[in-house]
Amino acid sequence: MSNAPRTETATPKSARERSLVKVEPHRWALSWWARIFRRTARRWTVKSHVRKFCRPLTTEGTEKLVGLEGPLLIIANHTSHFDTVIVLDLLPDRIYDRTAVVAAADRMYRDRVKGMWHSLRYNAFPITRGGGREALAYSQWLLHHDWSLLIFPEGKRSRTGELQPFHGGPALLAIGQLIPVLPIYISGASDILPPGTRDSKPAPVHVKIGDVIRFEEGTQIAEAKSAMEEAMKTLASAGN
């Protein structure tokens, strides 16, 4: 038996941190009382927050929300943690009331109390980045039970403002139950709360709402992902 000292392969810090985050979705966030709280508190937790920091907030394509019903897969580009409240601010009450927000477990749910607050305030729930299809199980359950989802297909915030390649998970969710996809492009949010900072500051924000994407049965994941990326690129380039 060898007396040589054992050497252990170092685990990357980000992977180690993710492995330590074992958080199940707070299903109580779907309860009637939690929904009433969000509906009542929306004025302060979402709208006043947006009015304070998005100065001015301009939008294109709001007419595309008229008559739109859920469940939807709402996708948006991601440059700031402020992106979530901007999208939630735009949604009609009928959609907002039944929308859940996909949040990175290793980022938003590392602290138990803060995680519970995210769940209550935004109906957010944790998902393990890089967790494969198993990590999408709760998302699929929500869509099956007529909840819309807000998800950022890039998976993490862009530090340059440029669109990053989409992950396949959102495409899998869309084609799994043939859920319509609503693309939203946000510019300017990175100036409010850039990655690596904690203090928000006012900045102009412009939002473009795209046409709903509908997939037919038999659509492949790669095809759906490509269509979603192209829709977002079109919004990003329109008017520039």
- Residue 144 resides in a domain: yes
State the residue range of the domain holding 196.
25-237
Alpha carbons 12 and 36: distance in angstroms, whole number: 42
- Residue 117 resides in a domain: yes
- Residue 207 resides in a domain: yes
- Residue 163 resides in a domain: yes
- Residue 134 resides in a domain: yes
Question: pTM value?
Answer: 0.87
> pLDDT (tens digit, 9 = 90+) per residue, 153-195?
998 888 888 899 999 999 999 999 899 999 999 999 999 977 6
User: Which CATH number do you get for residue 125?
Assistant: 3.40.1130.10
HSE-up of residue 159 (Cα within 13 Å, Cβ side): 3
Tokens of 54: 């998005």
- Residue 168 resides in a domain: yes
- Residue 5 resides in a domain: no
Domain count, the chain: 1
Q: What is the CA radius of gyration of the chain?
A: 19
17: pLDDT strictly greater than 90: no
